[in-house]
Structure 1
Amino acid sequence: MENNITATYYGQSCVAFDFNGTQVLLDPFITHNPLAKDIDVNALNPDYIFLSHAHADHVADLVQVQKNSGATVVAIVETAAWVAKQGLDADKVIAYNFGGTLSLPFGKVKMVYALHTNSTPEGDYAGVPCGYVFTVGDKNIYFAGDTGLTMEMKLLEDLNIDWAFLPIGGFYTMDMYDALKASSFVNCTKIVGVHYNTFPAITIDTAEAQQLFSEAGRELFLPEVGAAVRLW
């Protein structure tokens, strides 16, 4: 079957995938994002919500979106335990861990390493962060989550990753230069940059970033907030 896959960028690290009709939202942070003021969070209707970790700039709109949509929330074990305390039905939370692979109606999702910290908006420990590799048909998409450059990315080199969603803003995560190295580590030439320009500390020169990747023979996509990228 031919894939019909798009990714809509909602700012920071919030991305909505349409996997052949199944809606998958990652790291919902919209209402507190000054760059996403034109996005109606109540219009989001995902089937699944995946969390890379529980920092406020990744979960601020989680409860509202989940209550509106009835979505199933997926996260690493300790973050999932925090999610379960937010008033969700138990059958709407999936907790798994590194190396695990979920088989879901749209495809498979492998949890992979991310180098970052993790706490809840209240400041409580929430385990460790993670990234995901989504496999839909014969296509593979890497969502790195918040991460620094790490040698563990090389473990993904032979997974035939078609698209990689990488943080590029620096300060809290990789900057554009480390993200370029990361694209080499995971052996991927099509990159969507995330986690940049939301706050002063992670503001970048987008023209410089695109030139940097272009000179290395890679494509860097920096969609406007609310814009969709057709992946296939």
Structure 2
Amino acid sequence: MHITYYGHSCFLVDISGHKLLFDPFISANPNAEHIDIAEINPDFVLISHGHEDHLADAETILKQSGAKLISNFEIVSWYQHKGIDNSHAMNHGGCFDFPFGNLRYVNAVHSSTLPDGNSGGNPGGFVIESERGTFYYSGDTALHYDMKLLLEQYERIDWAALCIGDNFTMGAKDASRCARWLNVKNVLGLHYDTFPPIAIDREQTTRIFNSADIKLHLPEIGETIGLHAQYH
């Protein structure tokens, strides 16, 4: 799979020609000012929860691309009132087969309020299983024991996209523990450096993952990297 990182928790995954954009927060991120969102045309937009730093550009990108929105019931309903009908609502524990593969909406321990004060429902993450491999996106979350269940539900998880910035979410130590629970060797780090409370020391953070024999990927904003299936 090829992953393009757009800053904060926003990344695009290309799965056999299907482009999935997660948590689009780009134009309001000063670190991503060189990214032109008019050039981003995904097939699907996935939103983990209702905070503005995960959906600020979603309406614009959904309307310009015609992409299908995938999120929880409350967030999908909120966007339907904005005229976005190409959508699919889910809730925790549910799975659905999409053209790119099977998607499960899973628990996250966080909060979720939409920019206008409406409820964003319960926050979540996603597990996507496809012919190209299986990966887990944690969304914004604390470390929680439900993460261990994923290896009972899936034969393997090839890589994970995890929040690492601490303060509002897991920090590096908890994220590396999550990766050990999942038995993954490649982690895409998310939700760091955008705001002062989540600034990280990259060398120290990398050492934490290295000590657990896990490769932490911190691509530059706009960079595309490959993360592929690992075979145990």
Which of these residues, 149, 155, 159, is aligned with residue 155 of structure 1? 149
Amino acid at match of 1:93: S
Contact 2:15 2:132 (8 Å CA) reproduced? no
Q: 1:35 aligns with which of 31, 44, 52?
A: 31
Identity in percent: 39
For these two proteins, the number of residue pairs brought into alignment is: 226
Q: Distance in 2 between matches of 1:220 and 1:128?
A: 28
Deviation above 6 Å: which 4+ runs of structure 1?
A: none
1:14 maps to a residue whose letter is C
C-alpha contact (below 8 Å) 2:20/2:42 kept by paired residues: yes
Q: CA RMSD in A?
A: 1.0
Structure 1 residue 165 corresponds to structure 2 residue 161: yes
Give TM-score scaled by structure 2 length: 0.95
**What letter corresponds to residue 23 of structure 1 in structure 2?**
K
- The unaligned stretches of length 5 or more in structure 1 are none
Name the structure 1 match of 2:198: 202
Q: CA deviation at 1:157?
A: 2.4
Matched-pair contact (CA < 8 Å) for 1:168–1:195: yes
Q: 2:211 aligns with which of 200, 204, 215?
A: 215
Amino acid at match of 2:87: V
Distance 1:184 1:216 in 2: 7
| Cα distance in structure 2, aligned partners of 1:161 and 1:187 | 7
1:97 aligned residue (91, 94, 107):
91
What 5-or-longer segments of structure 2 have no aligned partner? none
**CA distance in 1: counterparts of 2:81 and 2:15, whole angstroms:** 29
Could you tell me how far 1:135 is from its partner in structure 2? Answer: 0.9
TM-score (norm 1): 0.95
8 Å CA contact retained: 2:163, 2:171: yes
SS in 1 for 2:19: strand
* 1:99-119 residue CA offsets vs partner (Å, 9 max, x unmatched): 111111111111111111001
How far 1:121 sits from its partner (Å)? 0.6
1:120 aligned residue: 114
